[in-house]
Homo-oligomer: A and B are copies of this chain.
């Protein structure tokens, strides 16, 4: 799979074009402005089902024909959506069973979007018919450059607890376990008298008086991800029956955690994703870097498409902060730095009405005499100037192991500590590497790790024996690993590994005896002067060197950080600064070099490189004071791109 949006050279630039919201006389103006801004790709039809099919089987493609023709005529390529993300009222009204049901048994109604049960046969059938029509009609259209299936799967309805879903869940379980005995063993139903004696007794984890069965919950999360994936596959396959050579994608929403994107990544022709800055977070760009690195990892290191982001405010945060001057460029090029070769916004023209009318657009409500429009035009020019960068890959030597099933296992409401959030911890480790200007991938536990010099395992609670062995092989082959606490503790059925919690005991040379989560906000002193937070463990070093111990509390003297060869283990969690120091030390020992030596706080630096050696270093200053980087002064909010710079020759 290569990054190839049919007919779009260099960077793709544009956004969602909801033309159906505007009178056709506006379209001409739209095309004129698109050309002025350098837009070469627009997404069409994402929420147009009700306009394309006005009654069962009654299709109205006239307006779309005219729109596609007009865009083709002006050289704007189209990412054509299948329009299935929001079933029309006539559909939901005729098929009330297709509406999703929550765990408490209450149905969700139409009136917003994504109002479908992923397992609904009526929905799948109606969606499939529409896609078939679209693919057949537009497969050969000159404007067509990409297919866009559905939209943000799982954004609002990642799971459904209705009876239809229950039946589909049982089918999925039959396929997985074959026998009820196997299910009973996997789910540990000997506990709390939960043994199933017939398949039809098995239900989704609906609201129940106490903690649900953890493996039932975990399997239901897996099932739900697979059901949405089946929806995607059905649409993709329908397209492929009519359309060849045009890449098919769906826009991943990576900062929700309802869908296992490792299993999705191989199913799309091209990875695309949506990302919105969290304006009020302390460091919005940390979130950007996280999902951009994840998108690249899902794309196997190759370029990917930023399908949606915002030119300024969004509409769904508590306070939707507008972007100050320059932030639009910083945001967009931050994605480019991490491998995006397409930069698209939601949406082209800000809506006048509807639930997202306060979401910014490329053409704002106030028109083109605006800060936003000027910056949109400026970014178009920037991207045109950078076209040589397109197709290059990001330079990476380290990876963080990440697994959705493991995250889901820890979402069970009966865990040792509510503070031990695997996503937050993974984000913290990623941010610490970023602060050190060490760019990293994410990798699945069973993936090919050999191409990395350093693997971090911040929070891989659940891991199968095979995947655990994969990591051991990696270290045996010379790799370096740092494992965080509470990792490898349960197998793929969420069963605890007995006799020391240690799938990696031998690798690490450490036996863990008992977990000692810390009270809310409490710290524990460590022997190196730093402190542990959230979590501690009563462990014994068997064949490992103890590098740091606890200096107070009930575990005083017990190991906090150990090392056996190139395998490190932390039994606690560190503050950001201490974590960064530790990761820098281990990275250096592993031969991983940062983009910048000793970078100042709030500076981000990432490198892209072509196979032929041409490379670009993207450096941004996200702080509030100017910084001196690579001999030049970088102002707050600024992002600069250097060509051919060699970080290694830099003096500290």
Contacts and interface: CB of A to CB of B under 8 A. Distances in A.
B192 A496 contact: no
A69 to B, nearest CB: 20
A538 B210 contact: no
Contacts of A513: 364, 366, 369-371
Interface stretch (A350-358, A391-399, A400-408): A350-358
Contacts of A412: 355
SS class, residues of chain A in contact with chain B: loop
User: Which residue, of A215, A216, A538, has the highest number of chain B Cβ atoms within 10 A?
Assistant: A538
A353 B194 contact: no
A319 B354 CA distance: 41
Contacts of A109: 203, 206-208
Contacts of A216: 111
B196 A417 contact: no
B214 A112 contact: no
A370 B538 CA distance: 10
Q: Is the interface on chain A under 10, 10 to 19, 20 to 34, or 35 or more residues?
A: 35 or more
A170 interface: no
B355 A210 contact: yes
A169 B104 CA distance: 25
Given A50-B193, A192-B47, A320 B355 contact: no
Interface string A338-371: 0000000000001111111110000011110111
A280 interface: yes
Contact of A105 (B106, B115, B500): B106
Contacts of A100: 209
Contacts of A192: 47, 86, 112-113, 354-356
Give the number of copies in the complex.
Answer: 3
A461 to B, nearest CB: 12
Nearest to A55: B197
Contact of A214 (B155, B325, B355, B365): B355
Contact of A211 (B316, B322, B371): B316
Nearest to A54: B197
Contacts of A104: 106
A478 to B, nearest CB: 31
A368 to B, nearest CB: 10
Interface string A33-61: 00000000000000111110011000000
Contacts of A200: 93
Contacts of A357: 188, 191, 214, 495-496
A374 B357 CA distance: 58
Contacts of A249: none
Interface in A472-520: 493-496, 498-501, 511-520
B209 A89 contact: no
Nearest to A536: B322
Given A111-B203, A111-B205, A353 B188 contact: yes
A387 interface: no
Given A321-B516, A371-B513, A51 B365 contact: no
A517 B320 contact: yes
A208 B115 contact: yes
Q: Which 6 A-B pairs have the closest CB atoms?
A: A188-B353, A191-B354, A324-B554, A156-B209, A211-B355, A112-B210
